[in-house]
Amino acid sequence: MTWIYYDSKTGNVERFVNRLKLHRDWSILKIDASFRPLHAGHLITYTTGFGEVPLSTLRFLEENSSMIKSVTSSGNKNWGPNYGLAATKISTRFKLPVLMKFELSGTMADIQKFIDNIEG
């Protein structure tokens, strides 16, 4: 079983994972302050502000980074070098590989790329 954990604020990441659910029967769970994963999985989050990692994602990773295999982030290409920067910052801080970045809620090509990356 593949486990996906996600954090979403504006709904972009949630729209991405909802479309992902249509293509794969993976366990996809939204993180919150009390969530503790029981299985190793992949994290999808968003980039906030000027290329920052959401505080809710940071709190989750501080407690659970050992359960995370990779990180993916959404972003907006209008922010130039700050696009999807949350994934890069998480990778550096928690020594996790960046699986990919996608813009806003992603495209069907992004969904397929994510699936291909997970399934190898």
pLDDT, one tens digit per residue, over 51-65 is 999 999 999 999 999
**pLDDT value, residue 19:** 97
Is residue 112 within a helix (H) or strand (E), and if so which, with residue range? helix 108-119
Counting Cβ atoms within 10 Å, is residue 108 exposed (0-12), middle (13-18) or buried (19+)? exposed
Single pTM value for the model: 0.96
**pLDDT value, residue 6:** 98
Helices 55-64 and 85-94 pack at an angle, to 10 degrees, of: 30
**pLDDT value, residue 75:** 96
Within 10 angstroms of residue 88's Cβ, the number of other Cβ atoms is 19
**pLDDT value, residue 65:** 97
d(CA 93, CA 86): 10
Phi-psi region of 81 (alpha: psi -120 to 50; beta: other; left: phi over 0): alpha
Find all residues with CB under 8 Å of 93, minimum gap 6, and list them. Answer: 61
**pLDDT value, residue 109:** 98
**Domain harbouring 39, CATH code:** 3.40.50.360
**pLDDT value, residue 81:** 94
Low-confidence ranges of the chain (pLDDT < 70): none
Domain count, the chain: 1
Amino acid residing at 74: S
For 76, the domain range is: 3-119
**pLDDT value, residue 80:** 93
